[in-house]
């Protein structure tokens, strides 16, 4: 895809970079990202829509059986795509403090 | 405790109301999933900020604040939906969209032409031309050919003799008969008075007209056969191609319809609605009728101004003068009408619009040959698509409604083709003049510049820009001696910052 060729040069906003870093850190649904980044819902969710539109992240629904087992509504999980990982790498060079704010692998179990 | 409970429920109501209201902003196709996600997230937030048994006003406010974010998310999705819902928005003004619309119009026009029974009939019955060596014989003094003048005896005497100038004769006589149709359709029969032509069996053969839509499985014998005229077939049977085999009552007798005779190209008098072909011997008895004769080469040589004067002996050997009038009539084909109107429209075009494609001022970056070729190819493609559209639309209009006679249809085609050609070509030129000479996209954002009072002293007109950042188009409000027609201003690289992100590739 033509878009992929441009990805290494993609310049993300600080917010989007934080969300990607949070996702890489294992915070994989909206509220957990909000908690990790400290960003409000009105910022996090629209940013995730844009990241999904740009194919930097993708989403999938949790199985109903798992949600039923834990007696809660199912969650929509987000995951970095390969393009998202490449972009995150570029963003880390652009925002060197990103990894310190949200260390990779902070929350591996959700 | 009771007040706290009410407070909590009031908050919950507000939160639910916020989410529900926000969900209405989300495009319908994404609403269900959006609602499901936000309800799940709300549960997580509630567990975290206001868990059961530890309700606090601060926690509820945090949950409410979280729900407020749903409105922004919904608005974001709404905006994204608006962009994705308008796939043509990105194509607006592009040459591709223009050609796509023209191509679609052509496909629609052609499809309608295929579907309309009247147009189908016109295509199937045309071109059927009357044999050019045919004449209608009338008595010399008879100026009105609607009145038959040849007696059956006269016809039989001519037919029985060897002729120098004619090698075939056919006779027909028209009588008005009450007709009933619809018996085979199982519906109610329709009654009307038809002109029934009782003709010798060789008439259609002599005229060189085949019977259309004949029933290939027709069994000889049974009911006598009749052949409908094209006019009645269209008017009373809706140009039904499966007409053969239907029954019709003429007077007291039943007949079977054997097919349709194209009458558009026949100049035969007598207002014939239906043909009954009978042997020559039976065609005679009764009053006078019309005689159609086929000229030999010698007869053709005697013809002058579409007429041939004949002196013939009658059955009692008395000499009588007759006049043979050629049946060959100028009946234009649809394509001839179209080409004639196209020529007229091309001649009239300069009267309603400038045929120039606009004044191309000096370009600091000369346009390359591929660019010029692209621009001219686009113009040619537009014209190539427009012309068949006009043809199909005009025949759809003229022949689509079967109630029109052929003469009326020809006039409708004339008028519609001329109007469509004239205004269609005007549109093609106008559209081309408003396309950037570099990228061939339409210029946009017209802005009125200047004041009307300064028309003759200063610049007053409309300015439009190419969104690719290639050109500006200046169109004067009133053509003046120093600014007669539109001008293009080619933008250099110093303008690039204005069009960052929207520059288009140059073809």
Segment B70-81, tens digit of pLDDT? 998 998 888 877
Interval B228-244 mean pLDDT: 80
**Pairing assessment for the beta strands B225-229 and B253-261 based on DSSP bridges:** parallel
The H or E element that residue B187 is part of is: none
Range of the domain at B76: 2-84
What pLDDT sits at residue B54? Answer: 63
B339-366 confidence digits (pLDDT tens): 999 999 999 999 988 877 776 666 666 7
Q: Note whether residue B278 is domain-resident.
A: yes
Q: Are residues B321 and B349 in the same domain?
A: no
Domain limits, chain A: 2-95
Contact yes or no for B313/B162 (Cβ under 8 A): no
Q: What percent of chain A has pLDDT over 70?
A: 83
Q: Are residues B448 and B426 in the same domain?
A: no
Q: Are residues B490 and B351 in the same domain?
A: no
Q: Which of B42, B65, B76 should we substitute to test contact with A (largest number of A Cβ atoms within 10 Å)? A: B76
Helix (H, G, I), strand (E, B) or coil at B7: helix
Q: Which of B149-158, B177-186, B378-387, B400-409 has the highest mean pLDDT?
A: B378-387
CA distance B254 to B226: 10
Q: Are residues B415 and B459 in the same domain?
A: no
B20-34 confidence digits (pLDDT tens): 889 888 888 888 889
B136-155 confidence digits (pLDDT tens): 888 777 666 667 888 887 88
CA distance B83 to B91: 12
Burial class (CB in 10 A: 0-12, 13-18, 19+), A56: buried
Q: Encode B390-423 in three state secondary structure.
A: HHHHHHHHHHCCCCCCHHHHHHHHHHHHHHHHHH
CA distance B87 to B84: 6
Q: Note whether residue B102 is domain-resident.
A: no
| Residues of A whose CB is below 8 A from B47 | 72
Q: Are residues B191 and B296 in the same domain?
A: yes
What pLDDT sits at residue B420? Answer: 95
Q: Encode B366-395 in three state secondary structure.
A: CCCHHHHHHHHHHHHHHHHHHHHHHHHHHH
Q: Note whether residue B413 is domain-resident.
A: yes
Chain B residue with minimum CA distance to A49: B77
Burial class (CB in 10 A: 0-12, 13-18, 19+), B24: exposed
Q: Is B37 on the interface with A (CB under 8 A)?
A: yes
Q: Are residues B429 and B299 in the same domain?
A: no
Contact yes or no for A91/A98 (Cβ under 8 A): yes
Q: Are residues B428 and B455 in the same domain?
A: no
B104-134 confidence digits (pLDDT tens): 999 998 888 888 877 776 666 555 556 678 8
A vs B: CB pairs below 8 A: 65
- Residue B356 tokens read as 């120039």
What pLDDT sits at residue B292? Answer: 85
Q: Are residues B308 and B403 in the same domain?
A: no
Cβ pair B69:A44 closer than 8 A? yes
**pLDDT greater than 60 at residue A4:** no
- Residue whose C-alpha is closest to residue B386's, from B421, B358, B412, B360: B421
What pLDDT sits at residue B90? Answer: 67
CA distance B39 to A73: 8
Q: Specify the number of domains making up chain B.
A: 4
**pLDDT greater than 60 at residue B59:** yes
Model confidence at A8, pLDDT cuts 50, 70, 90, reads very low
| Residues of A whose CB is below 8 A from B69 | 40-45
Q: Note whether residue B97 is domain-resident.
A: no
Find all residues with CB under 8 Å of B348, minimum gap 6, and list them: B422
Of B59, B84, B109, the residue that ends a domain is B84
Starting at the earlier edge strand, list the strands of the sheet with B471-476. B444-449, B461-465, B471-476, B487-490
Q: Are residues B319 and B345 in the same domain?
A: no
- Residue A97 tokens read as 């403090």
Chain A residue with minimum CA distance to B35: A76
Helix (H, G, I), strand (E, B) or coil at B37: helix
Q: Which of A84-93, B306-315, B322-331, B384-393 has the highest mean pLDDT?
A: B384-393
- Between B217 and B346, the more confident residue is B346
| Residues of B whose CB is below 8 A from A29 | 41, 44
Q: Are residues B208 and B357 in the same domain?
A: no
Contact yes or no for B416/B394 (Cβ under 8 A): yes
Q: State which CATH number among 3.30.230.70, 3.40.50.300, 1.10.10.10, 3.40.50.1000 fits the domain covering A2-95.
A: 1.10.10.10
Cβ pair A72:B44 closer than 8 A? yes
Interval B481-486 mean pLDDT: 79
In this prediction, the answer to ipTM > 0.95 reads: no
Q: What is the dihedral of CA B287, B289, B295, B296, to 10 degrees?
A: -20
What pLDDT sits at residue B150? Answer: 83
Query: How much is the mean pLDDT over chain B?
Result: 79
Q: Are residues B284 and B363 in the same domain?
A: no
Beta bridge mates, A57: A80
C-alpha dihedral sign at B471, B472, B475, B481: negative
pTM of the model: 0.50
Model confidence at B185, pLDDT cuts 50, 70, 90, reads very low
| Residues of B whose CB is below 8 A from A43 | 69, 72
The H or E element that residue B293 is part of is: strand B290-295
Q: Is A43 on the interface with B (CB under 8 A)?
A: yes
| Residues of A whose CB is below 8 A from B37 | 30, 76
**pLDDT greater than 60 at residue A5:** no
Q: Note whether residue B197 is domain-resident.
A: yes
Per-residue CA distances from B278 to A95, B49, B227, B246, B284 (Å): 101, 102, 12, 19, 10
Q: Is B70 on the interface with A (CB under 8 A)?
A: yes
Q: Is A95 on the interface with B (CB under 8 A)?
A: no
Q: Are residues B303 and B425 in the same domain?
A: no
Cβ pair B41:A30 closer than 8 A? yes
């Amino acid at each position: 895809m033509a878009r992929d060729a441009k990805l290494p040069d993609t310049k993300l906003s600080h917010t989007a970079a934080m969300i990607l870093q949070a996702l890489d850190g294992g915070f994989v649904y909206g509220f957990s990202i909000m908690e990790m980044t400290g960003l409000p819902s009105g910022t996090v969710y629209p940013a995730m829509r844009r990241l999904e539109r740009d194919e930097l992240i993708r989403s999938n629904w949790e199985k109903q059986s798992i949600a039923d087992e834990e007696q809660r509504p199912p969650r929509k999980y987000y995951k970095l795509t390969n393009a998202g990982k490449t972009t995150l790498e570029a963003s880390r060079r652009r925002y060197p403090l990103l990894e310190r704010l949200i260390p990779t692998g902070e929350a591996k179990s959700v | 405790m009771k007040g706290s409970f009410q407070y909590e429920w009031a908050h919950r109501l507000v939160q639910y109301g916020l989410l529900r209201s926000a969900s209405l902003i989300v495009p319908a196709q994404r609403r269900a999933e959006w609602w499901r996600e936000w309800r799940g997230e709300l549960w997580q937030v509630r567990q975290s900020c206001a868990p059961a048994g530890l309700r606090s006003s601060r926690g509820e406010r945090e949950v409410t604040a979280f729900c407020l974010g749903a409105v922004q998310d919904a608005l974001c999705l709404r905006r994204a939906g608006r962009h994705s819902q308008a796939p043509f928005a990105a194509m607006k003004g592009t040459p591709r969209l223009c050609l796509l619309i023209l191509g679609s119009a052509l496909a629609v026009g052609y499809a309608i032409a295929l579907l309309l029974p009247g147009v189908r009939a016109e295509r199937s019955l045309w071109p059927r031309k009357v044999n050019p060596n045919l004449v209608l014989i009338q008595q010399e003094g008879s100026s009105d050919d609607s009145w038959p003048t040849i007696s059956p005896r006269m016809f039989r005497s001519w037919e029985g003799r060897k002729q120098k100038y004619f090698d075939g004769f056919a006779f027909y006589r028209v009588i008005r008969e009450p007709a009933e149709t619809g018996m085979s359709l199982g519906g109610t029969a329709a009654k009307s008075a038809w002109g029934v032509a009782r003709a010798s069996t060789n008439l259609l053969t002599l005229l060189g007209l085949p019977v259309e839509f004949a029933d290939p499985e027709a069994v000889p014998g049974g009911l006598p056969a009749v052949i409908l005229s094209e006019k009645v077939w269209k008017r009373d049977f809706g140009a039904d191609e499966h007409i053969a085999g239907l029954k019709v009552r003429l007077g007291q007798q039943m007949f079977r319809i054997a097919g349709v005779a194209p009458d558009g190209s026949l100049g035969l008098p007598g207002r014939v609605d239906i043909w009954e072909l009978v042997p020559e011997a039976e065609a005679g008895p009764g009053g006078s009728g019309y005689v159609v004769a086929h000229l030999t080469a010698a007869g053709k040589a005697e013809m002058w101004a579409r007429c041939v004067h004949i002196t013939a002996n009658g059955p009692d050997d008395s000499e009588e003068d007759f006049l043979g009038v050629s049946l060959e009539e100028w009946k234009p084909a649809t394509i001839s009408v179209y080409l004639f109107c196209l020529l007229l429209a091309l001649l009239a075009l300069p009267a309603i619009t400038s045929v120039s494609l606009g004044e191309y001022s000096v370009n600091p970056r000369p346009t390359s040959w591929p660019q010029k070729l692209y621009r001219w190819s686009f113009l040619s493609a537009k014209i190539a698509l427009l012309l068949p559209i006009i043809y199909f639309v005009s025949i759809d209009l003229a022949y689509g409604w079967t109630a029109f006679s052929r003469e009326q249809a020809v006039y409708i085609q004339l008028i519609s083709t001329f109007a469509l050609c004239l205004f269609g070509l005007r549109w093609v030129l106008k559209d081309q003049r408003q396309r950037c000479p570099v990228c061939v996209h339409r210029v946009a954002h017209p802005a009125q510049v200047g004041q009307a009072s300064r028309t003759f002293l200063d610049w007053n007109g409309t300015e439009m820009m190419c969104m690719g950042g290639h050109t500006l188009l200046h169109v004067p409000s009133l053509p003046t001696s120093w600014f007669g027609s539109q001008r293009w201003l080619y933008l250099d690289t110093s303008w690039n910052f204005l069009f960052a992100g929207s520059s288009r590739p140059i073809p």
